[in-house]
Copies of this chain bind each other. A is one copy, B any other.
Amino acid sequence: MGNTDTLGTYADAELDLDLRWWKAANYLTVGQIYLQDNVLVREPLRPEHIKPRLLGHWGTSPGLSMIYTILNRIIKATDTDWLYITGPGHGGPALVATGWLEGTYSEIYPRVGRDAAGIRRLCRQFSSPGGIPSHVSVQTPGSIHEGGELGYALIHAGGAAMDHPDLFVACVIGDGESETGPLSASWRLPNFLNPRRDGAVIPIIHLNGYKIAGPTVLGRTSDEDVAAYLRGQGWDPVFIEGDDPRQVFSDLYAALAGAQRDILAMRAEARSEESLDGASPSKRYTWPAIVLRTPKGWTGPHEVDGVQVEGTNLSHQVPLSGVVDNPEHLAILEGWLHSYQPDEQFDESGRLVPELAALAPDGEKRMSATAYANGGKLLRDLPSLDLSAYEVEVGDNRGAVWFENTKSTGELMRDIYAADRRPDGGGTFRLFCPDETASNRLQSVFEVTDRCFMGPAEPTDQRLGPDGRVMEVLSEHLCQGWLEGYLLSGRHGMFATYEAFAMVSASMAIQHVKWLQHAQTLRWRDSVASLNILLTSTCWRNDHNGFSHQGPGLIDCLIPLAPDVVRVWLPPDANTSLSIADHCFQSKDHVNLIVVDKQKHLQYLTLEEAHDHCAAGAGEWAWASNLDESGKPDIVIACAGDVPTQEALAATELLRNHVPDLRVKFVNVVDLMALLPENDHPHGFTDTQFDDLFTTDTHVVFAFHGYPRAIHQLVHGRTNPGRFHVRGFNEQGTTTTPFDMVVLNKMSRFHLAKEALRRSTRRTAGWNSLVQLCDRRLAEHETYIREHLADMPDIADWTWGSGA
């Protein structure tokens, strides 16, 4: 737990050194924004030393590096593990500077050495083509959080702290970010963080008062109100305000050291209170927090052209923009750079002077080098379980057995939980779900663990308590973001949610794909476990909730993103779901979207068949096809997704029974990316594979889980893509029956059978009577609707072989 005895007062000599380290960081920050040459200002500053484009954010940067500086002293003194989350991620140059000062940067990127040439490269690469991004990004050592799309700092921090019992997460939160929804909700963390097994998060709200163009809400809120807001949510804030560096450094050191002491005491209490196998701690914990009010753009130019810049939103990005053309501005910049006395902080060769270099912690204790921010280093494989224990028996009843498609995945997770459990109640796997674990038929996990809740208990509580490892909170943002933090710091998990409401956190999924896409290009970042998103309670079976709950749009959001990251899985039954879930849990660096409904559905494949089918990605189901020895179909009926598979099979049976001479090939797609050309996705079928499956000229009637045109974008480039006729969710929905849903969207067995007849190459016997049958059944349905509440023919009424 680290050595806290050595954490004494903040001696003047220490403070002096820390202020110099901070100056060095600020110097390099300004340098990155402005300089392409003369980067140690050892000659007079001239226009040609200035970059052609001035990009970067100064305003937040000095605050970020100040906190970093002080944390380094605490880390050195206490030998503790810290992770730094930069909510104001636009302050990228500050974190690049501190990483360079610590030496990590040069270790990772040897071309950026620890000398003047390295500083020159450091400056030139920043925000430049072929260089590095302006934000705290994947490329920044020590980061698991980009901070571009604001709102997730405290969520990621919370996820990183879970199950890392010795970790301290310093989470800097900007006052702009504080206005976002996700950040606002994330203050409820104390209800979900258990000091017995989890690490700590110390939020540091950096109130510098301004966003890009105006004041922040929190910046104009009194200390009293900010304190009430935080206290009401389980935090005990300390307030620090000032613009005198010595004073602020002292106060912040005291606050951070005090926070660490409080947390260590809390841990000691929580962990010693009772044996770890015993009952849960009953105490509610209040966590320390820090509110830090310092000027925006602190230590930068106070006034430019007679207008105040420091302490206002004008310092947000580049406080002096006209330095090339305006000699006065150039002079201000030169003075600003010299104000950090670079010659005192860097030696002749441009190296950080030894007394400052000695301030950084050692090795992986450096926040820029911690394995907690390079989670793959900490990642341990999940236990490998024998899936046959969860197999749904299909036997001779292919297409005639009913089972909840997600249930066996829940059983798998139950046993992962059990096998993964640490003696202190921690582990490396968690399920995150907005209050729907049982609703989503994943309730088997509650056989071995509870919902996590740190609040007071009631006698009526079921499967609830502080030691619970299922994270339920009614916020997709929190669920997904906690999982992201959990994964990026080296653990495993799943986010399960209602399909439609996955769109609430769609932007987070997109940002996570972007993160992984760039992480894959960096050799120093070890692979992390995939982000697994299980969408259940899908559009087709939200007949009981209605239109707002019906939306498969996340598929469309992910399709265009990095092919090396994105996977979209549409298992048709429970064994395929199980096979895919297991695959996804073992996979790395992917975002796996699994779409499968929680309700009872027909079961088709044995587990062995499921493994083969999922590995292939798509294939013919010969038992459902109706081909002659030529093997050449008159029509291909394809499907992807559970309800589409059922309707497609029922349509196939209609065709087999009523138009027996029609040669039907039945194809199921479980890996949606198999449809993409092989050059566009690593799972994409070759053209030969694709043509073997779908032929080159036969029409394909395709029943698809999502929006129909998604298939059209995927099959572009294949032979004769115009022969694909897709039915899918067509944005028709309400509270109704499952069968009415497929009728409303024209994807019912009757619609599919009619379409197949219309598109087939031959008119064989029975054609007309089947068309009439389909029309009659649809007309009957219309009548049922008009006389509503009569019992409906339901998709649950049909099984394979029963005569559709």
Binding site for B on A (CB under 8 A): 36, 51-53, 55, 90, 124-125, 127-135, 137, 146, 148-151, 176-177, 179-188, 191, 211-217, 220-221, 224-234, 308, 311-312, 435-439, 451, 453, 455-456, 458, 460-462, 464, 472-475, 477-478, 500-501, 503-504, 506-507, 510-511, 514, 517-518, 544-549, 551, 553, 556-557, 559-562, 707, 709-710, 712-714, 716-717, 721-722, 731, 734-737, 740, 784-786, 788-789, 791-792
Q: How far, in Å, is A741 (CB) from chain B's closest CB?
A: 9
Taking A216-B474, A232-B232, A510-B551 as given, write out 4 further A-B residue pairs in contact, using a Cβ cutoff of 8 Å, ordered by the A residue number. Answer: A146-B548, A151-B181, A228-B232, A501-B507
CA distance A556 to B137 in the complex (A): 26
Interface centre among A53, A211, A784 (most CB of B within 10 A): A53
Residue of B nearest to A211 (CB): B435
Q: Majority SS of interface residues in chain A?
A: loop
Q: How far, in Å, is A178 (CB) from chain B's closest CB?
A: 8
Let me know if A185 and B179 touch, CB within 8 A. Answer: yes
For A132, what are the chain B residues with a Cβ–Cβ distance below 8 Å? Answer: 735
CA distance A42 to B424 in the complex (A): 61
Let me know if B735 and A176 touch, CB within 8 A. Answer: no
Known contacts A125-B788, A510-B551, A731-B517, A133 near B464 by CB under 8 Å:
no
Let me know if A179 and B233 touch, CB within 8 A. Answer: no
For A734, what are the chain B residues with a Cβ–Cβ distance below 8 Å? Answer: 133
For A308, what are the chain B residues with a Cβ–Cβ distance below 8 Å? Answer: 460
For A231, what are the chain B residues with a Cβ–Cβ distance below 8 Å? Answer: 225, 228
Q: How far, in Å, is A181 (CB) from chain B's closest CB?
A: 3
Residue of B nearest to A563 (CB): B731
For A36, what are the chain B residues with a Cβ–Cβ distance below 8 Å? Answer: 789
For A182, what are the chain B residues with a Cβ–Cβ distance below 8 Å? Answer: 181
CA distance A256 to B185 in the complex (A): 27
Choose among B90, B179, B188, B451 the residue that contacts A474 (Cβ–Cβ < 8 A): B179
Choose among B224, B455, B548, B786 the residue that contacts A130 (Cβ–Cβ < 8 A): B786
Let me know if A788 and B180 touch, CB within 8 A. Answer: no
Integer count of this chain's copies in the complex: 2
Let me know if A215 and B464 touch, CB within 8 A. Answer: yes
For A151, what are the chain B residues with a Cβ–Cβ distance below 8 Å? Answer: 181, 504
Q: How far, in Å, is A298 (CB) from chain B's closest CB?
A: 15
CA distance A685 to B226 in the complex (A): 56
Let me know if A436 and B472 touch, CB within 8 A. Answer: no
Choose among B180, B220, B510, B709 the residue that contacts A456 (Cβ–Cβ < 8 A): B220
22 contacts between A and B (CB under 8 A): A127-B735, A128-B789, A134-B735, A135-B546, A135-B548, A148-B545, A151-B504, A180-B185, A213-B435, A213-B451, A214-B462, A215-B453, A215-B455, A229-B233, A311-B460, A312-B460, A506-B557, A514-B551, A518-B547, A556-B559, A709-B716, A717-B722
Residue of B nearest to A717 (CB): B722
CA distance A471 to B456 in the complex (A): 39
Q: How far, in Å, is A538 (CB) from chain B's closest CB?
A: 15
For A740, what are the chain B residues with a Cβ–Cβ distance below 8 Å? Answer: 129
Let me know if A716 and B722 touch, CB within 8 A. Answer: yes
CA distance A667 to B214 in the complex (A): 42
Choose among B213, B437, B737, B788 the residue that contacts A213 (Cβ–Cβ < 8 A): B437
Residue of B nearest to A126 (CB): B735
For A553, what are the chain B residues with a Cβ–Cβ distance below 8 Å? Answer: 506, 510, 557, 560
Let me know if B709 and A713 touch, CB within 8 A. Answer: yes
Let me know if B545 and A129 touch, CB within 8 A. Answer: no
Let me know if B556 and A557 touch, CB within 8 A. Answer: yes
Let me know if B548 and A514 touch, CB within 8 A. Answer: yes
CA distance A501 to B510 in the complex (A): 11
Residue of B nearest to A318 (CB): B544
Let me know if A213 and B439 touch, CB within 8 A. Answer: yes
Let me know if B557 and A557 touch, CB within 8 A. Answer: yes
Let me know if B128 and A736 touch, CB within 8 A. Answer: yes
CA distance A566 to B363 in the complex (A): 55
CA distance A90 to B498 in the complex (A): 15
Let me know if A226 and B217 touch, CB within 8 A. Answer: no
For A517, what are the chain B residues with a Cβ–Cβ distance below 8 Å? Answer: 731
Q: How far, in Å, is A390 (CB) from chain B's closest CB?
A: 23
CA distance A441 to B547 in the complex (A): 38
CA distance A628 to B51 in the complex (A): 47
Let me know if A149 and B500 touch, CB within 8 A. Answer: yes
For A478, what are the chain B residues with a Cβ–Cβ distance below 8 Å? Answer: 179, 181
Choose among B51, B474, B507 the residue that contacts A180 (Cβ–Cβ < 8 A): B474
CA distance A710 to B557 in the complex (A): 11
Q: How far, in Å, is A527 (CB) from chain B's closest CB?
A: 20
Known contacts A232-B229, A472-B213, A731-B560, A710 near B713 by CB under 8 Å:
yes
Let me know if B214 and A225 touch, CB within 8 A. Answer: no
CA distance A574 to B456 in the complex (A): 59
Interface centre among A213, A477, A786 (most CB of B within 10 A): A213
For A439, what are the chain B residues with a Cβ–Cβ distance below 8 Å? Answer: 212-213
CA distance A736 to B191 in the complex (A): 42
Known contacts A151-B504, A232-B229, A129 near B788 by CB under 8 Å:
yes
CA distance A508 to B148 in the complex (A): 21
Choose among B52, B186, B225, B792 the residue that contacts A791 (Cβ–Cβ < 8 A): B52
Let me know if B549 and A130 touch, CB within 8 A. Answer: no
CA distance A803 to B129 in the complex (A): 25
For A464, what are the chain B residues with a Cβ–Cβ distance below 8 Å? Answer: 214-215
CA distance A436 to B179 in the complex (A): 14
Let me know if B184 and A501 touch, CB within 8 A. Answer: no
CA distance A456 to B453 in the complex (A): 38
For A212, what are the chain B residues with a Cβ–Cβ distance below 8 Å? Answer: 435-436, 439
CA distance A42 to B432 in the complex (A): 48
For A551, what are the chain B residues with a Cβ–Cβ distance below 8 Å? Answer: 510, 514
Q: How far, in Å, is A590 (CB) from chain B's closest CB?
A: 15
Q: How far, in Å, is A294 (CB) from chain B's closest CB?
A: 16
Let me know if B474 and A148 touch, CB within 8 A. Answer: no
Choose among B150, B460, B722, B735 the residue that contacts A721 (Cβ–Cβ < 8 A): B722
For A791, what are the chain B residues with a Cβ–Cβ distance below 8 Å? Answer: 52
